[in-house]
Structure 1
Amino acid sequence: MRLKARLQREWRFLRGLNRTLGRVKSIAPDSDNLICDDLQAAVERWRERPAITFEGRTVTYAEMDAIANRFAHWAKGLGIRRGQTVALFMPNRLEYFCVWYGLSKIGVVTALINNQLAGLPLAHCLNISQANHVVVDSETSPVFEAARPLLERTLQQWVLGPVHGDQRDLVQALKSCSMLPPDRSVREDMKARDTALLIFTSGTTGLPKAARITHVRAQLYMRGFAGSTGAKASDRIYVSLPLYHATGGLCALGAALLNGGSVVLRRKFSASHFWEEVLAEGCTMFVYIGELCRYLVNAPEHPDEARHKIRLAFGNGLRPDVWPELKRRFRIPEILEFYGSTEGNVSLFNFDGREGAIGRAPKWLRKRFNVRLIQFDVETEQPIRGTDGFCIECGPGQVGECIGRIGGDARTDYTGYVDKAASEKKVLRDVFEKGDRWFATGDLMKSDSDGYLYFIDRIGDTFRWKGENVSTNEVAERLQAVPGVKEVNVYGVEVAGADGRAGMAALVVGPEFDLKAFGEHVARELPSYAQPLFLRLLPEMQTTGTFKVRKIDLVSDGFDPAKIKGPLFFHDPKRGYVKLTKAVFEKIAAGAVKV
């Protein structure tokens, strides 16, 4: 039976790998076939099929294309030339994808701005986009107005909704624009290596950076998931992730639209409405970010949660403790976990469903993957190099940084950020031989003897305390198991006179949370060096639009009662977790309390 199960796993792995590679093998950076050409071919093949459903309205492929063409002619009429940028600052809505699809037909770049941003972070993204025009709706227009004084240039605001002052009415402007595709000559001499989109990093530890998404990279996302998911024309994919990010806006849309399927789009994720909408719309797949799945398993039982037609959930960041519960409770036959970064060149898929793994790169297919793990010093945050000056590859079970070899083909190319200096910081040179170049993901992983890779933590999130490396991700998983703990954010804080950083955990808890029981669980489940020295209770966790937890503000606050209004605790070796008062804080800061 073991041999049979292993052969079945290998078959599923190879089937998924071949499906994916089969869809991307013809992509080339010097090709004149752009992402809009891929989409146009899908439109011509499935013109009358439903493409996108949003809030009760459904458009066919032909209607979707007509909307996109109007946006293309609108920009062309304004004299916006290829290579120039238009900023798109809106929540999920029917027109969202059509905007950038249409602009790509005339070679114009679309900057996909996180609609959760406001103030300085919003102005920062608009400034680095170098856009002269911004598309908004009635929800985001007031937010843009508030950020205007922080802008370095004047942006013309185009509103899909009511206008006032110097705002321009985009609804009215589009009415006079042609629904026919613009002439291909407008993008003559363009290549797939040219920029199609700007997608911004989530900004969990600082201001977002703009990743340059070329046409070839967009094709890799969209074609890759059209293959890896095995989606068909009969599939309906539920998308509640934001379209300004690659997982929802490229991976999920590619899986549906390049196979003749349809997208059921929601403005934003809602755990309470998720299953009833999935059932009502006849969805067969959904796309996730790990935290979305955790919200689902933590939600009360829903009458529709096992009555659906979902055959596949795909996404990234699914926690090992959530994975089996997601499958069991909601009766989901298959989960496709993947790993990738917006700006990088490393892509991994867990085609055969090994729980907890983010992907697989077996030794016998080593040459087909550009992925390696190298030994890494978390204290200096630098790769460990041997006496010969080269990096040292990790063996099975060793934790190291994941890197991707930079080559000249579509799959190994590295386009990086708009900021060239930021791009260069992510490149490692002379890794295994003189002159080679590798993209540093900034992620720590480990592999097993079968080539499965497991995510450990982000570099910078792993810290050193009492001579040991502490993974915030692994500690958070242990703390999450305590009754009453709803959300966890673990990070390291500096303590005067101490080497390294001490562990601190921010918790969102329910009424059943018991501090004494929590302390007993920590003492039982974690080694002494990994036990959080400080605790902070929060009413809610601050997250990015893609559900990633923000740490920068928490790290900045540290464990100072003067900066923190809510409950704050210190781990006393004899009494367990006790309230952290100003007097205790001052003793710790003065080195009078041993930590």
Structure 2
Amino acid sequence: MVRGVYTVAELVQRQWGDHRTGLRESDLTLSRHQVAAGAAARAALLADLLPRGAEPHLGVLLDNTPEYPLWLSAAALAGAAVAGLNPTRRGAELARDILHTDCRILVTERAHLPLLDGLDLPGVRLLVTDTEAYERLLAPYAAAKPGEAVVRPVTPGTRLLLYFTSGSTGAPKAALCGQGRLAAAGASLVAHFRLSAQDTHYICMPMFHGNAVIANWAPALVAGAPVALRRRFSASGFLPDVKEFGATYFTYVGRAVQYLLATPESPDDRSHALRLGFGTEAGTVDAARFEARFAVRLVEGYGSSEGGAAIQRTRGTPAGAIGRAAPGDDLAVVDRATGQECPPAVFSASGGLSNASAAIGELVNRGRSPFEGYWRNPEADAERLRNGWYWTGDLFYRDAEGFLYFAGRDDDRLRVDSENLAAAMIENILARWDAAAAVAVYAVPDPVAGDQVMAALALREGADFDPAAFADFLSAQPDLGTKMAPRFVRVVPAMPTTATNKIHRVALRRASFHTPDPVWWTPAPGAPYQLLTPASRAALLEQYADHGRSPVPEA
């Protein structure tokens, strides 16, 4: 294991001359030396292409191809920073992400070029990796060596990542991560899970998220272990990949685990080398099912690209808990209104939380926080750092032994398939529908983990809800991301309001789909909207019961 304070650039450089396997995908294998050489070539190209005086930022809009870790490594060597761009973003919202982070170079592939059609991206140079033009552009730099091309001096504090994370309102924020913090995160996971060069890290989660880069790619660099890439997550391709690559470690989100459990069982389900998965929101029921079927332990964690607070699961962590504060963090559950620490959780005989109203509060880090801020967003920085504490914006409760339990997130936020979404942004899109007089978007719990999107629509006088027309409207919206379409649509005669004439979101959330109003839903992604009948509601409630969840928020 690497010791001391170091940078990601140092970790990339240490691959030079090492001819062990460094990177694999289905039809390509690169040695660690080839990875370092490829990174050095791209760093030299980057140094020549970046305009003088410009921020050394490049946007990466790629699936999990070898080019993604090569450009991350190149940026580290050059002292540049990568903005991971989410391909589920559309139109002006995607353009905003690119321009907000001052990207002067955009690395993409032909499959994503349609996303860029018609976008106004002044001053941004496009590199399309799977083209002959790209190969010709890169060829003169083939002999470059690590450390020769630097656009900014590399220190542990040198910015390396700008990873988008959604807040409760407005556009996504770009969280900053320096080389030292990313290297330290990798080292922490190597030590915690005893990872080594004999492991193989399988990366099937998208690399525009911190999950794949911070919790998978970085520890592989630290341990000197190879990484194996899957372009996009595939439930059917997961086990064949794991066997082909000899993978031992992977990261996940809860939805991926659910998809894997839905695949047909096979006598060969345990015929692999995989030993550990690390991620979020799998749920205790699915984690147990996964281990029973595949003989692979899933370890739940809590963290974010911001790095402001982290929770680690240790031996003895109770069912349902995430774990305790990571070493060095002074985490507390605080009443946001008073700033006072909430009392410990009190559990009923059946294990339910008896004092939810008192015990649930916002998780804060009262100690030294590694949070590095957001790119050019002082308002968001100030919201995160108040009175010397880091405020996560997530709701938790804590038992008498100090174990922390996740309880939800701010009312205006939704977390769908481990992506944070802002309700206001979805409302602004749905409000364009001609038949809608008023719109409210809110979260309802997913049967397994996280949230699903539910919308309440009050229709204009004389209008009827036409499910096909509504679906057509959604598909025509250029800025509606793939996670934003409502799973449930409640058609209300009038929008419920509070005494101050604001939409009564609490009442909507508490009702969920238990309402006499007509509720339309999509039984599966891409399926047409249909009425939620008593029979389909009963079947859906069985899914919640199977995972120990309720469609109504606990608090």
Name the TM-score, length of structure 2 as normaliser: 0.73
Contact 2:164 2:175 (C-alpha < 8 Å) held by counterparts: yes
State the one-letter code of the partner of 2:97: C
Contact 1:495 1:501 (C-alpha < 8 Å) held by counterparts: no
Aligned residue for 1:346, secondary structure, equals coil
Q: Which residue of 1 aligns with 2:520?
A: 536
Q: What displacement does 1:307 show?
A: 1.6
Could you give the per-residue CA deviations for residues 18-77 of structure 1, whole angstroms, max 9, x where no partner exists?
A: xxxx978x44xxxxx432113323x15x71111111122111110000100010111122
- Of residues 22, 35, 48, the one that matches 1:64 is 35
- Of residues 69, 76, 90, the one that matches 1:97 is 69
Could you give the per-residue CA deviations for residues 152-200 of structure 1, whole angstroms, max 9, x where no partner exists?
A: x23111111337xxxxx22111111043324468467543223112111
1:403 aligns with 2:364: yes
- Of residues 33, 40, 47, the one that matches 2:13 is 40
1:446 aligns with 2:415: no
Could you give the per-residue CA deviations for residues 463-483 of structure 1, whole angstroms, max 9, x where no partner exists?
A: 9xxxxxx99448776999xxx
Q: Which residue of 2 aligns with 1:312?
A: 276
Counterparts of 2:118 and 2:57, CA distance in 1: 19
Q: Which residue of 1 aligns with 2:242?
A: 278
Q: What displacement does 1:498 show?
A: 5.7
Counterparts of 2:300 and 2:361, CA distance in 1: 20
Counterparts of 1:479 and 1:172, CA distance in 2: 46
- Of residues 119, 133, 136, the one that matches 1:148 is 119
Counterparts of 2:99 and 2:49, CA distance in 1: 21
Cα distance change, pair 23–290 in 1 and its aligned pair in 2 (3 A): farther
Q: What displacement does 1:226 show?
A: 2.3
Counterparts of 1:96 and 1:346, CA distance in 2: 27
Q: What displacement does 1:208 show?
A: 2.4
State the one-letter code of the partner of 1:351: T
Q: Which residue of 1 aligns with 2:438?
A: none
Aligned residue for 1:176, secondary structure, equals helix
Counterparts of 1:185 and 1:88, CA distance in 2: 20
Q: What displacement does 1:202 show?
A: 5.6
- Of residues 89, 92, 106, the one that matches 1:117 is 89
Counterparts of 2:488 and 2:402, CA distance in 1: 29
Farther-moved stretch of structure 1 (267-276 vs 172-181): 172-181
Q: Which residue of 1 aligns with 2:329?
A: 369
Question: What is the aligned-residue RMSD (CA, Å)?
Answer: 3.6
Counterparts of 1:565 and 1:262, CA distance in 2: 42
Contact 1:403 1:440 (C-alpha < 8 Å) held by counterparts: yes
Could you give the per-residue CA deviations for residues 129-158 of structure 1, whole angstroms, max 9, x where no partner exists?
A: 1112211111112322x1423x3x231111
Contact 1:80 1:108 (C-alpha < 8 Å) held by counterparts: no
Contact 1:345 1:406 (C-alpha < 8 Å) held by counterparts: no
Cα distance change, pair 172–478 in 1 and its aligned pair in 2 (3 A): closer
Q: Which residue of 2 aligns with 1:414?
A: 371
Aligned residue for 1:272, secondary structure, equals helix
1:177 aligns with 2:123: no
Counterparts of 1:488 and 1:310, CA distance in 2: 36
Name the TM-score, length of structure 1 as normaliser: 0.68
Q: Which residue of 1 aligns with 2:298?
A: 335
Q: Please say which structure displays the higher CA radius of gyration.
A: 1
Aligned residue for 1:426, secondary structure, equals helix
Structure 1 residues not aligned, in runs of 5+: 1-21, 28-32, 164-168, 376-382, 431-436, 464-469, 481-486, 506-527, 543-563, 578-595
Contact 2:2 2:222 (C-alpha < 8 Å) held by counterparts: no
Cα distance change, pair 292–71 in 1 and its aligned pair in 2 (3 A): same
Counterparts of 1:327 and 1:456, CA distance in 2: 24
Q: What displacement does 1:327 show?
A: 1.2
Q: Which residue of 2 aligns with 1:517?
A: none
Aligned residue for 1:47, secondary structure, equals coil
- Of residues 12, 22, 31, the one that matches 1:51 is 22
Q: What displacement does 1:566 show?
A: 2.6
What is the 5 A alignment of 1:151-162?
A: 151=121, 153-162=122-131
Could you give the per-residue CA deviations for residues 279-321 of structure 1, whole angstroms, max 9, x where no partner exists?
A: 2222112211111111111222244322222111111222223
Contact 2:394 2:409 (C-alpha < 8 Å) held by counterparts: yes
- Of residues 66, 78, 85, the one that matches 1:106 is 78
Cα distance change, pair 361–172 in 1 and its aligned pair in 2 (3 A): same
1:326 aligns with 2:277: no
Counterparts of 1:174 and 1:423, CA distance in 2: 38
Q: Percent same amino acid among aligned pairs?
A: 24
Aligned residue for 2:404, secondary structure, equals strand
Contact 1:121 1:208 (C-alpha < 8 Å) held by counterparts: no
Aligned residue for 1:444, secondary structure, equals strand
Q: Which residue of 1 aligns with 2:159?
A: 195
Contact 1:344 1:439 (C-alpha < 8 Å) held by counterparts: no
What is the 5 A alignment of 1:209-224?
A: 209-224=173-188
Aligned residue for 2:301, secondary structure, equals strand
Counterparts of 2:236 and 2:212, CA distance in 1: 20
Q: What displacement does 1:323 show?
A: 1.7
State the one-letter code of the partner of 1:445: F
Counterparts of 2:240 and 2:168, CA distance in 1: 32
Cα distance change, pair 372–497 in 1 and its aligned pair in 2 (3 A): closer
Q: What displacement does 1:238 show?
A: 1.5
Cα distance change, pair 427–479 in 1 and its aligned pair in 2 (3 A): closer
State the one-letter code of the partner of 1:61: R
Q: Which residue of 2 aligns with 1:86?
A: 58
Aligned residue for 1:322, secondary structure, equals helix
Structure 2 residues not aligned, in runs of 5+: 347-358, 415-441, 453-484, 539-555
Q: What displacement does 1:324 show?
A: 1.2
State the one-letter code of the partner of 1:109: A
Contact 2:281 2:449 (C-alpha < 8 Å) held by counterparts: no
Q: Which residue of 2 aligns with 1:460?
A: 411
Contact 2:161 2:176 (C-alpha < 8 Å) held by counterparts: yes
Contact 2:321 2:403 (C-alpha < 8 Å) held by counterparts: yes
- Of residues 119, 122, 134, the one that matches 2:106 is 134
Farther-moved stretch of structure 1 (290-299 vs 346-355): 346-355
Q: Which residue of 2 aligns with 1:7?
A: none
Q: What displacement does 1:127 show?
A: 1.2
What is the 5 A alignment of 1:427-438?
A: 427-430=384-387, 437-438=388-389
- Of residues 233, 245, 260, the one that matches 2:209 is 245
Structure 1 stretches (4+) deviating beyond 6 angstroms? Answer: 474-480, 487-494, 528-531
Farther-moved stretch of structure 1 (344-353 vs 121-130): 344-353
Aligned residue for 1:269, secondary structure, equals coil
Aligned residue for 1:48, secondary structure, equals coil
Cα distance change, pair 449–147 in 1 and its aligned pair in 2 (3 A): farther
- Aligned pairs, number: 455
Contact 2:182 2:218 (C-alpha < 8 Å) held by counterparts: no
Counterparts of 2:381 and 2:489, CA distance in 1: 27
Cα distance change, pair 202–51 in 1 and its aligned pair in 2 (3 A): farther
State the one-letter code of the partner of 2:19: E
Contact 1:285 1:313 (C-alpha < 8 Å) held by counterparts: yes
